[in-house]
Amino acid sequence: MTVFLIILDLDSDGDGINDSQEQVLIILSGVDSDNDGIDDAIDVDFTLGTDANGDGIDDNSLDLLDIDGDGVPNFRDIDSDGDGINDATEGNVDTDGDGIPDYKDIDSDGDGVPDSQRKWRLQQ
């Protein structure tokens, strides 16, 4: 069983996109009243929600999606969409206005050409 512990680190994978945008479905409070390393906003001791795996995190507060299917949830993945361009480079903007942030969008400008085919231009 894989357990992901969310400590008060606001950017777990260091890609410049806050975990509260990338992984947690609710905004973290920045408070850990019982000092167990879990933010009160997702701590099952405070939310009184469900904790099927016993990790102390309310199961309904997390988004464990893995868009690129590499086995690493987006909030821990430095390239969430697997296009070869780091999330920090793509950012949390929506260039083509399709409702998908660029770091999750395989064609961030909506021109029909996947970002993976143009990554060399972004990294020059």
Per-residue HEC secondary structure of 18-67 comes to CHHHHCECCCCCCCCCCCCCCCCCCEHHHHCCCCCCCCCECHHHECCCCC
pTM, full prediction: 0.59
Say yes or no to pLDDT of 3 above 70. no
Of 1-10, 17-26, 66-75, 107-116, least confident by mean pLDDT is: 1-10
Say yes or no to pLDDT of 124 above 50. no
What are the pLDDT digits (tens) for 80-123? 999 999 998 998 889 999 988 898 899 999 999 999 887 655 54
* Among the listed residues 124, 118, 92, 88, the one whose alpha carbon sits nearest the alpha carbon of residue 105: 92
